[in-house]
Structure 1
Amino acid sequence: MPIKSIDGCIGCGTCVATCPTDVIRLNPKNKKAEIMYPADCQICHLCRMYCPVDAITISPEKSIPVIVSWG
């Protein structure tokens, strides 16, 4: 599973909004982010980069380097 964990979620929904493959969803009961479709993760790092509290950890063995087009 590319996303290792979501710890310390504040329920803002930013990760849900930024995920292009709809891997993360907010739990309707506790309003916290949960990994719902791990097999669909494209390891784009958007959820991790935009999380305001740095709650998302990507598995190092599954991670690919983040490449940006500006320098």
Structure 2
Amino acid sequence: MSIESINGCIGCEECIKSCPTDVIRLNPTTKKAEIVYQEDCQICHLCRMYCPVDAITISPEKSIPVIVSWG
């Protein structure tokens, strides 16, 4: 398990747009983000960083530290 949950989603689609592996999709019924292909998640943290309401939780056992370069 990589992305643990998406709770409090407001349907802005920022996580969907930022995901390089396309594992998050918009549910057409609820109009909220869903983790569809969890096994393909690369744990890049982009979805979590771009979420304006901090709705995405990444499992601590699978989480890696975010590395930001200075150049």
| Superposition map of 1:50-61 within 5 A | 50-61=50-61
Q: How many residues align?
A: 71
* Residue equivalent to 2:31: 31
Q: Deviations over 1:25-70 (max 9, x none)?
A: 0000110000000010000000000000000000000001100002
Unaligned stretches of 5+ residues in structure 1: none
Percent identity reads 82
| Superposition map of 1:1-71 within 5 A | 1-70=1-70
- Please give the TM-score of this superposition, normalised by the length of structure 1: 0.97
Classify the secondary structure of the residue corresponding to 1:48: helix
Note the aligned Cα RMSD (angstroms).
1.0
Equivalent-residue separation in structure 2 for 1:53 and 1:30 (angstroms):
17
